[in-house]
RNA sequence: UGGGGUGUCGCCAAGUGGUAAGGCACAAGGUUUUGAUCCUUGCAUGCGUUGGUUCGAAUCCAGCCACCCCAGCCA
């Protein structure tokens, strides 16, 4: 076992794998897979599964496949295949071997289906979908056998071949497993294995007009790829008996022969499914349907809208792969339904960015300040650390002139109790520069504050002021040197903890203030210098990143990834 | 009402018979030219509930309660 595995927090999956390794259950192999259906964009919930599958493989010198579970061409597309691959790579994971597709096993799947028919374990059914529903029974009543259940093997084989040949219309026939219509587990009531769909498939084109179902495909695909641990979410728990039934009713030697490792697999142990709880986060929605609706209805600007819980959205928002991976690790893996607090995700990104983001000053809502002790053309360039603790990040040049901007929130004529910023007649330090005193407040006819005139204590550059303490520190940008930028302040998309609750309409719970765009912000020049980073801490404000889509050289756009923690409540 | 699951601090979550880890959040101090970071301290005599077994139970047994999933030719 990997020596570092001992220091990782335990969870029931790690424990299970350790046990399997100890007993050499799969000959010491650990082989997992991440099996998305390419029918949408990945979200933070998928990240949990990705981290789990790839993580547990890496911890044990195993492998993890990427397999697109593409058995339903009606909902899938190449666009999603590409986006998913890109997301996984971005997260920093590497799949084993080539990208797999369930659809590349269609021939083998077809042969195995014939085998089930030959073994009297499957039959061709002519019941319509509606009839099948009636025959299935209910949760409390058993179902009834299909009238076609007793069809002769030769006839089933012939009909199945004709289904494949395209002789029948969609829905006219299906291939069903022959299990038990009275099973208390509805998944075992002669589930459909193949359905007719005259549809073009993004990988196989028009080669097929019959498509295998998830239940039939997944277990065999796992077996073909010699997967040892097939990890999926809780809602598939009831499917596990079917997963096992299909593999158990197939010829084991044929399965072995069809597998990637072929006859060399020793021992050949069938893959086993283990379920874990999905990730849920409060104040957001994770359902693909809802996410898609928000995109289609322009509630958000796209799948990569920075407010979306998609990986594309989080990325554009400024989340890092490291933060997402740390978050997934801190959330853990269990079997209990749980809802993780958004605060945990926020903590993960703050923790990573605090370590890695260079500091810069940006004034969001500028208030002009004249420093009256400087001459008209005054200009000096201060050298400031890019990071308060990481010397290796070096320094940046910050120009200072006679006029600077500070944030309007950092000045108050009538300050609330505990206000540590600028007040009339009061002092404050310009971060990294001098202590200034507010001497005069300039107002227009309406009484709106237009600017401040401040004196400067020239002896306070890099030094504490004489004989007094100045508590407040305020960020600033030189008016003559600052660069105008747009800044987008993002907040949670919903204003209720659980927008997906049964009794609420999630669209009614949208937070109207989830995006606030500021058009008049001013950033210090180093933020946009050649070779500068794209993620910063705007000191005293939060972490921001250059928007990857809307930012241009003439109008830079910054997204607020997350605010700084703020223990001061005014 | 059939079947399958889950219940440990406000939120995650370890723990698998020997006397409740950790993280987030929160609170109080300290450091600080970011009200940030960092540091220190506090935060479940109790593990859904009621009984039982045991020298000893979150862990074993029984009953009860609550919540989640399943009646797609979706995954």
A172-188 residue pLDDT tens: 999 999 999 999 999 99
Nucleotides of B under 7 A from a protein CB: 1-8, 10-16, 21-27, 33-38, 67-75
Map tokens 């990945």 to a residue. A42
d(CA A306, CA A283): 15
Rounded to whole angstroms, the Cα distance separating A556 from A362 reads 13
Tell me how many helices (H) and strands (E) chain A has: 13, 25
Matching residue, tokens 């010397």: A391
Q: Which residues pair with A401 in a beta bridge?
A: A379
Q: Which of residues 247-266 of A touch strand B (CB under 7 A)?
A: none
CB A30 within 8 A of CB A57: yes
pTM (predicted TM-score)? 0.96
For tokens 């009834």, the residue is A144
Residues 6+ apart with CB under 8 A from A226: A29, A31, A259, A260, A261, A265, A271
Q: What is the 3-state secondary structure (H, E, C) of A512-555?
A: CCCEEEEEEEEECHHHHCCCCCCEEEECCCEEEEECCCCCCCCC
pLDDT in tens, chain A (570 residues): 333 334 789 999 999 999 999 999 999 999 999 999 999 999 999 999 999 999 999 999 999 999 999 999 999 999 999 999 999 999 999 999 999 999 999 999 999 999 999 999 999 999 999 999 999 999 999 999 999 999 999 999 999 999 999 999 999 999 999 999 999 999 999 999 999 999 999 999 999 999 999 999 999 999 999 999 999 999 999 999 999 999 999 999 999 999 999 988 778 899 999 999 999 999 999 999 999 999 999 999 999 999 999 999 999 999 999 999 999 999 999 999 999 999 999 999 999 999 999 999 999 999 999 999 999 999 999 999 999 999 999 999 999 999 999 999 999 999 999 999 999 999 999 999 999 999 999 999 999 999 999 999 999 999 999 989 999 999 999 999 999 999 999 999 999 999 999 888 999 999 999 999 999 999 999 999 999 899 999 999 999 999 999 999 999 999 999 999 999 875
Q: Which nucleotide's C1' atom has the smallest distance to the CA of A462?
A: B33
What is the CA A12 to C1' B57 distance in angstroms? Answer: 22
Interface predicted TM-score (ipTM): 0.97
Strand B lies under 7 A from the Cβ of residue A28 = no
Phi, psi of A240 (to 5 degrees): -60, -40
Contacts for A441 with CB less than 8 Å, ≥ 6 apart: A413, A424, A449, A452
**Cβ burial A395-417 (10 Å sphere, 16+ → b, else e):** ebebbbbbbbbbbeebbbeeeee
**Residues comprising chain A, all counted:** 570
CA angle A462, A467, A468 (to 5 degrees): 80
pLDDT per position as a tens digit, A513-529: 999 999 999 999 999 99
Q: Are A508 and A526 in contact (CB under 8 A)?
A: no
Where are the extended beta strands (E) located within A411-462? 427-430, 435-443, 449-457
Closest CA to A482 of A362, A367, A357, A358: A362
Task: Determine whether the distance from the CB of A516 to the nearest atom of strand B is below 7 Å.
Answer: no
- SS3 for A200-213, per residue? CECCCECCCCEEEC
Distances (CA, A) of A504 to A333, A494, A500: 28, 12, 7
Backbone angles phi, psi at A244, to 5 degrees: -70, -35
Residue nearest to nucleotide B25 (CA to C1'): A343
The Cα–Cα gap between A552 and A15 comes to: 50
């Amino acid at each position: 076992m990997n020596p570092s595995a001992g220091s990782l927090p335990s969870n029931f999956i790690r424990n299970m794998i350790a046990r399997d390794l100890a007993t050499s259950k799969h000959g010491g192999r650990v082989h997992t897979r991440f099996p998305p259906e390419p029918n949408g964009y990945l979200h933070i919930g998928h990240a949990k599964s990705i981290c789990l599958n790839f993580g547990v493989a890496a911890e044990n010198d195993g492998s993890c496949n990427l397999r697109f579970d593409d058995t339903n061409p009606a909902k899938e597309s190449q666009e999603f295949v590409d986006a998913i691959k890109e997301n996984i790579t971005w997260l920093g994971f590497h799949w084993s071997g080539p990208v797999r597709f369930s659809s590349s096993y269609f021939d083998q799947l077809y042969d195995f289906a014939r085998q089930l028919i030959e073994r009297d374990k499957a039959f061709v059914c002519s019941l319509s979908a509606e009839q099948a529903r009636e025959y299935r029974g209910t949760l409390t009543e058993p179902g009834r056998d299909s009238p076609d259940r007793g069809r002769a093997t030769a006839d089933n084989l012939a009909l199945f071949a004709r289904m494949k040949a395209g002789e029948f219309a969609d829905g006219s026939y299906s291939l069903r497993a022959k299990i038990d219509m009275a099973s208390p587990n509805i998944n075992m009531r002669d589930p459909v294995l193949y359905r007719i769909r005259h549809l073009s498939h993004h990988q196989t084109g028009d080669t097929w007009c019959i498509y295998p179902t998830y239940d039939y495909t997944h277990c065999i695909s796992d077996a073909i790829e010699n997967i040892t641990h097939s990890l999926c979410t809780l809602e598939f728990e009831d499917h596990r008996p079917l997963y096992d039934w299909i593999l158990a009713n197939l010829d084991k030697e044929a399965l072995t022969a069809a597998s990637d490792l072929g006859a060399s697999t020793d021992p050949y142990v069938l893959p086993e499914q283990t379920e874990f709880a999905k990730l849920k986060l409060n104040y957001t929605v994770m359902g693909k349907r809802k996410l898609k609706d928000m995109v289609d209805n322009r509630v958000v600007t796209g799948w990569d809208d920075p407010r979306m819980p998609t990986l594309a959205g989080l990325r554009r928002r400024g989340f890092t792969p490291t933060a997402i991976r740390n978050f997934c690790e801190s959330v853990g893996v269990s079997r209990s339904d749980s809802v993780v607090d958004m605060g945990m995700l926020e903590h993960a990104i703050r923790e990573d960015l605090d370590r890695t983001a260079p500091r810069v000053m940006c004034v969001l809502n500028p208030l002009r300040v004249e420093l009256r002790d400087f001459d008209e053309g005054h200009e000096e360039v201060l050298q400031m650390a890019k990071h308060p603790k990481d010397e290796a990040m070096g320094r940046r040049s910050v120009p200072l002139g006679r006029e600077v901007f500070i944030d309007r929130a950092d000045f108050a004529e009538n300050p609330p109790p505990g206000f540590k910023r600028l007040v009339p007649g009061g002092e404050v330090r310009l971060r990294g520069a001098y202590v200034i005193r507010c001497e005069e407040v300039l107002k227009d006819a309406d009484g709106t504050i237009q600017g401040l005139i401040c004196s400067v204590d020239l002896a306070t550059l890099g030094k504490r002021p004489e004989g007094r303490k100045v508590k407040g520190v305020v960020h600033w940008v030189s008016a003559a040197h600052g660069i105008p930028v747009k800044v987008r302040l993002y907040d949670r998309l919903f204003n209720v903890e659980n927008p997906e609750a049964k009794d609420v309409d999630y669209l009614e719970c949208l937070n109207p203030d989830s995006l606030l765009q500021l058009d008049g912000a001013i950033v210090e020049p180093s933020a946009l210098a050649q070779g500068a980073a794209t993620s910063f801490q705007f000191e005293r404000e939060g972490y921001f990143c250059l928007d990857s889509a809307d930012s241009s050289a003439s109008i830079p756009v910054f997204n607020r990834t997350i605010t700084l923690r703020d223990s001061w409540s005014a």
